[in-house]
Amino acid sequence: MRDIFKLLKEGNKPSLLAGIVNTIIAILKGIAFFFTGNVAMFAETLHSLGDAANQFFVFIGSALSRKAPTPQFPNGFGRVVNLVCLGAVIIVAIMSYEAIKEGWHHVMNPTESGGFIINLSVLGIAIILELGVLYKAGKEILHEAGIEKGGLAPLTMGFTNLKKAKPATKLVFMEDLVATAGGILAFIAVLLAHFFNLLVAEGIASIMIGLMMFYVVGRVFLENARGAIGETDEEMLNHIAHIVAMDSDVKDIQQIEVIKEGEFLHVQVTAEVNPSHTLEYIDDIRDRLMKIILNQKGVQDVLISFDEDDGIRTWKGSNETNNIEEFSSKLPE
């Protein structure tokens, strides 16, 4: 039990915060829908429920993914977070379908709902809370990308640096971006229905919220399916290849792999060295390279093997210092 709590402390903090906030929001929206019958509020209740369930699952998955490798699972549990995210999108997909179905029913049979002040108050509170979570997730994205900026940067730069974020942080940011946009849509729909008697606006808003949720489902599914299979991190592969090629004792690189599993990277390198070196000297080379590579962001383990230099250049990169500095500046240790 102590080990479980220790792992949970290592879980993704933005997803835990988002799960708690969305649970509170879902309760508020559910109460508002119960008293008003507003279909846009119904869609928003489903949206917040789906987000809350997702984010709690992701928090647990991100914590379990940090479990140390065991003899039975020597490669570790890094892909657990991807598998959990794949399961979590099923919940969002179901909620998306229900939101679209209910919205379409309201468009075909528009009915007036009451509780104008209640709806606006709850949606206003929800939008503010969602923006807070979105800001926190954006700040975490910038931190994971090696960018330390305050102000509006987490909101303006969060989306552009999304690819550099961990799967859990990425999911939270995307879900809360859609949740904030959905809350604003529902807010506008309530105003249109009340002041202009456009009752179908609430149904249209519900359909649009459902479609946005489906967009998140598609993006999250594709990205985590690649992560569950194990994909190459091209940027880090080039970065680490230049680090290895820069070493004065490395004559060539036969093969290099950088596989991304969840939040972690597994590196495998086969380098060519001078065949006249002793085993002790080669072991020193291995220790030196392993220390440098393990200090790179996200690298969990490294396997380095050596072969004698065959005089045929396999690695087509460059050993020039300016290229190495360029990669190092992009990917902080």
pLDDT average, residue stretch 161-180: 84
Higher pLDDT, 316 or 313: 313
First-residue to last-residue Cα distance in the chain = 33
Q: Which residues contact 223 (CB under 8 A, 6 or more apart)?
A: 167, 170
- Angle subtended by helix axes 200-229 and 39-64, to nearest 10: 10
- Under the banding of pLDDT at 50, 70 and 90, the label for residue 163 is confident
| Interacting residues of 202 by C-beta distance below 8 A, sequence separation 6+ | 38, 39, 40, 103, 106, 110, 113, 186, 189, 190, 193
The C-alpha atoms of residue 57 and residue 80 are separated, in whole angstroms, by: 11
Structure tokens at 65: 């993914």
Predicted TM-score of the model (pTM)? 0.73
Burial 235-249 (b: 16+ CB within 10 A, else e): ebbbbbbbbbbbeee
What sign does the dihedral 114-116-117-121 (CA atoms) show?
positive
pLDDT band, residue 43 (cuts 50/70/90) = confident
Euclidean distance between CA atoms 186 and 266, whole angstroms: 44
Highest mean pLDDT among 50-54, 121-125, 221-225: 121-125
Domains annotated for the chain, with CATH where assigned, are 2-229 (1.20.1510.10), 234-330 (3.30.70.1350)
Question: pLDDT for 260-270, tens place per residue?
Answer: 876 788 899 99
Q: How far apart are CA 93 and CA 99, in angstroms?
A: 10
Instruction: Report which of 112, 165, 120, 114 is spatially closest to residue 138, judged by C-alpha positions.
Output: 165
Segment 91-144, tens digit of pLDDT:
888 888 988 998 999 899 988 878 899 999 999 999 999 999 999 999 989 988
Q: Half-sphere exposure of 90 toward its Cβ, with a 13 Å CA cutoff?
A: 5
